[in-house]
Each structure stands twice: as structure tokens, then as C-alpha cells.
Chain A
Amino acid sequence: MTDALPTARKEWMACLAKAPAARLAALLPDLPAHDTLRSPETGAVMVRGRVGGTGEPFNLGEMTVTRCSVRLACGTVGHAWVQGRDKGHARRAAVADALMQTAGAADLRARVLDPLAAEARAASDMRAGKAAATKVDFFTLVRGEDA
């Protein structure tokens, strides 16, 4: 694995993990043949905060996570850790992770990852826009003593 790969891989794994499961299934309906190295397994990940936002870590509570590992016929291994309990989501994300390491990466990026990333960005921009509309513009009234 080259040094550049982890950054790109981190990005696509995050995109696949955070995508709505139904949307990923719609964009990638058929999975190529693969071996299951680790069947989708649901468990908990402890989410942590920091005291005062920046200080020592503390345990906030757990979240459900499902993980899965697969191997394509060509031998490429894919992993996925996704939020929630959707085993299909975890398997699909693991296969996509493997495919992204093969020659089919460019095609998969155009067909699946780019649309998912664009939709995630649009959803996040929409929320940011609604928040911006509730930003207070203070103005100072002329007070009695200034008049």
C-alpha cells in the first residue's frame, strides 16, 4: 500500500459508512462474487468526548456499529465498519472498499462514490443554510440618553 492510499481509502470508507444504506443499495445493487472473511457482525463502539471540549477523554456512551470483511475473486480484501445494525450495508460497503482497490475504481467512483458524496454534501449544505437563516443580526436601538 502506498502512502497516498490511506488518505484516499479513509475518505471512501467514510463515505460508504455514512451513506444511507438504501441509497448505497440503489447505486450498487449487484455485488460481484466474493468470499466472506468476516460475516457482518453488529457490536458497540464507545463514543468519547473531552472534558471542556479539549481536555481529558471521557466515555459518552456507545453506538451500534456493524463490521464486515470480504475478499474478491482476484484476492483483494475489503473492510467496512458502518454505523447501525444493517448487515447488508456493511457487506456492500466492504465489497465496495475492495473494488476501490482494483482497476474498476474509477468506474465505481463515478457510479457510486461521487453521487453519494454529492448527496451528503447537499444534505449538509441544506442544514447549514437553514441554520444560517436563524443567525441573529443584532442592531442597537437608539437609547434615551443618546437622543
Chain B
Amino acid sequence: MYVAVKGGERAIDNAHAWLAEERRGDPAVPELSVAQIRQQLRLAVNRVMAEGSLYDPDLAALAIKQARGDLIEAVFLIRAYRTTLPRLAAANPVDTAAMAVDRRISATFKDLPGGQVLGPTFDYTHRLLDFALAAEGAEVPPAAIAPAAPGPVPHVTGFLNRDGLIEDAPPSDATPPDMTRDPLELPASRALRLQAITRGDEGFVLSMAYSTQRGYGRTHAFVGELRIGRVGVEVEIPELGFAVEIAEVELTECETVNQFKGSKTEPPQFTRGYGLVFGQSERKAISMSLVDRALRWRELGEDDSGAPAQDEEFVLYHCDNIQATGFLEHIKLPHYVDFQSELELVRRLRTEAATLQEAAE
């Protein structure tokens, strides 16, 4: 229980003024601009957009600046802002097969139509600190350019599907459930689970995915395909009665190929896990596809091994870092009355215990 406590206004005002000063840091060091954050800390911006569940790189960069680089605090600012926006429409589902890919790799097929495109990746770097970056003003040599072969970059699962070796994902135009409009109810559909996980905390989703790899709800995943790039967002314009591609967003998509021994009705075939995340966020997209697959045990007739990653309630109710932070951090707020009652209880129990001991002696 909380009580209204007065008298802190001056302290709070001064604390906020000091916060602003600390945020700015040493005035002798040039101030960071929102554009600099947007351009040069793009992966942080991506994470804030994904977990804030709002694609707007300028706002995410501003939130990172305001939050002094605390990304969960930045996500909180974006979530709060998001609630002030009227929902104008829902876009048509994006067509990731038509993605303009910056990166596209497959761990299951070496030679595939469209090829293995590495893109701007940290992979194969030596993870040695580059002290050259500590010196400012160094010119960055331009990246190499090669003639691009125009043409589609088909999904890897499409080839497997042609032979019936992998489960199908038949199209549908069902309106998906929306956890930002209706309370999350269990059991959740796969569409609802994916919405929850794509905005879930990257660290949490990563740990859940890792736990499946270590044997807690094992699903034997291969990265069938990972692709990063830009897709068009098409919205039906109500005034006009037709759809217009009003934007391009950067997405990361991961499809895993997993084992499935078959059932009474289905022959053995590969099954799929799916991840789709705002921005270039491949750790999150791979994690999401592993957790998605682990949560499908019931639908695929697999055993519940009791692993946390198979427990829908555990995953969905704990993956949101804003909900978690809110509940975790509320315990630092005044609980004076709660604690007073606990204190009185402990004192009374101690008195009683002492009396009993005296009586026994």
C-alpha cells in the first residue's frame, strides 16, 4: 500500500535539474545530436524501435539521448509516446520475399538463388578493439560496389516446400489479434505470440532461445535463412479505396528449419520457426524464431519437457521489459505503511518468542 507523501517537490525539482546537467556531461565536450545518434548508433535505435514497438528512427534517437543511453528507459519513453497516437490504419502485411536485401544468408544451402550476401556484418571481424576509431576525423574508405543482378531473392523455405519436405505456411487474410488493444489471454495464437516476442526484451528472448539450444525444450534449429533489408509498407487509403506504398521499413527476418518426426496424420518433415523484427536486429530475429518454434510443441504434438521456453505463460508474461521494469522498480517507491506493519509484526513475534523462552527456562 502507498500513502501520499508530500514535501518532496523541491528535492525532486533539484534532482531533475541535476539529471539534465549529468545528461549533458562536461560542457567542454560537444553535445551529441539526435541525427548523430540516429546515424552512428543505429543498432541501438533499432532496438528501441523494436522493443518500443514504434518505427520512427528520429524519435528512438531522441529517446536514447533523453535516457542517457539507457535503452530500456528509452523504450519506456517510446511506449509512452506511442499511446498518445491515434491509430490511423493497419497496413497490408509486408511482403518479405520482395525485400531489397542488404544481407541474406542461409546455413542450410550453400548455393541458392540470389546467393549468400553478407551485408554490413560484424561476423568475421576479430572482435579486437579498433583504436583507430578513437581518433576522430578519419576518412572512411567507400564500400566496394559490384553490379547487382536484378531479380527476386526467393525464400529458402520455398524450395523445401516444393518437395513437401517442410510444413507449409498457407496464406490467410484473418485479422490478427492485437495485444496493444486487448488484454493478452492464454492460450495465445501463434500470431499473438509473435507480436509479444518481437517487442520483447532482446536479452530475455536471447536467453530463452539459448536455453532451447542447451537442451531445455530442444528443437534442433538450423538457420534456413536470415535476411535484412527494406520492404515497402502498403496502406489502404480510405479516402481513395486503393492501397499506396507510403513507406519503407528496415526489417530482419529469420526462418529456422527444425526437425519433426511426424505424427499419425503427418509424414516426417521439417518444421519452421519464424522471427521478424524492426531494424537490423539479427540476434533478436534468430532468438525469436527459436522461441517461436519451442512454443509450438502442443500444435506439433511434441512432449512438454517442462522447459521454460515451452511455457507460453512464462515466456509471454515475462518478455516485456517495460512491464518487468515497472513492477520491479515500484518496490523502491515509498512503502512506509507496508513496512511499518511488517516491523510491528516482527517486534511482536520476537516479544512472544522471548516470553516463551523465559517461561521455558
What residues of chain A have their CB less than 8 Å away from a CB belonging to chain B?
6, 9-10, 13-14, 17-18, 41-65, 67, 69, 79, 81-85, 124-136, 138
| A126: chain B residues within 8 A (beta carbon) | 145
Within the assembled complex, what's the spacing in Å between the Cα atoms of A63 and B190? 22
Partner of A18, one of B54, B94, B248: B248
Establish whether residues A48 and B85, one from each chain, have CB atoms under 8 Å apart when the complex forms.
Answer: no
Establish whether residues B247 and A65, one from each chain, have CB atoms under 8 Å apart when the complex forms.
Answer: yes
How many of chain B's residues touch chain A, expressed as a range? 35 or more
Establish whether residues A59 and B86, one from each chain, have CB atoms under 8 Å apart when the complex forms.
Answer: no
- B176 touches A (CB below 8 Å): yes
Within the assembled complex, what's the spacing in Å between the Cα atoms of A80 and B117? 36
Within the assembled complex, what's the spacing in Å between the Cα atoms of A131 and B117? 6
Establish whether residues A56 and B90, one from each chain, have CB atoms under 8 Å apart when the complex forms.
Answer: no
| A6: chain B residues within 8 A (beta carbon) | 240, 242
Given A53-B96, A63-B54, A85-B56, 20 more pairs with CB closer than 8 A:
A17-B247, A18-B247, A44-B54, A44-B87, A48-B90, A49-B93, A49-B96, A52-B274, A53-B157, A56-B172, A58-B191, A59-B179, A59-B191, A60-B251, A61-B53, A64-B59, A67-B88, A79-B239, A128-B100, A131-B117
Partner of A14, one of B103, B177, B245: B245
- B132 touches A (CB below 8 Å): no
Establish whether residues B239 and A69, one from each chain, have CB atoms under 8 Å apart when the complex forms.
Answer: yes
Establish whether residues A84 and B56, one from each chain, have CB atoms under 8 Å apart when the complex forms.
Answer: yes
- B110 touches A (CB below 8 Å): yes
Q: In the complex, how many angstroms separate the beta carbon of B71 from the nearest chain A beta carbon?
A: 16
Q: In the complex, how many angstroms separate the beta carbon of A129 from the nearest chain B beta carbon?
A: 4
Establish whether residues B194 and A58, one from each chain, have CB atoms under 8 Å apart when the complex forms.
Answer: yes
Establish whether residues B171 and A55, one from each chain, have CB atoms under 8 Å apart when the complex forms.
Answer: yes
B215-244 Cβ-contact flags toward A at 8 Å (1 or 0)? 000000000000000001101010110111
Establish whether residues B278 and A60, one from each chain, have CB atoms under 8 Å apart when the complex forms.
Answer: yes
- B137 touches A (CB below 8 Å): no
Q: In the complex, how many angstroms separate the beta carbon of A8 from the nearest chain B beta carbon?
A: 11
Establish whether residues A83 and B246, one from each chain, have CB atoms under 8 Å apart when the complex forms.
Answer: yes
- B357 touches A (CB below 8 Å): no
Establish whether residues B94 and A47, one from each chain, have CB atoms under 8 Å apart when the complex forms.
Answer: yes
Establish whether residues A61 and B148, one from each chain, have CB atoms under 8 Å apart when the complex forms.
Answer: no
Establish whether residues B194 and A61, one from each chain, have CB atoms under 8 Å apart when the complex forms.
Answer: no
Q: In the complex, how many angstroms separate the beta carbon of A19 from the nearest chain B beta carbon?
A: 11
Establish whether residues A47 and B195, one from each chain, have CB atoms under 8 Å apart when the complex forms.
Answer: no
Identify the interface centre among A6, A44, A55, A81: most chain B CB within 10 Å of its CB.
Answer: A44
Establish whether residues B59 and A60, one from each chain, have CB atoms under 8 Å apart when the complex forms.
Answer: no
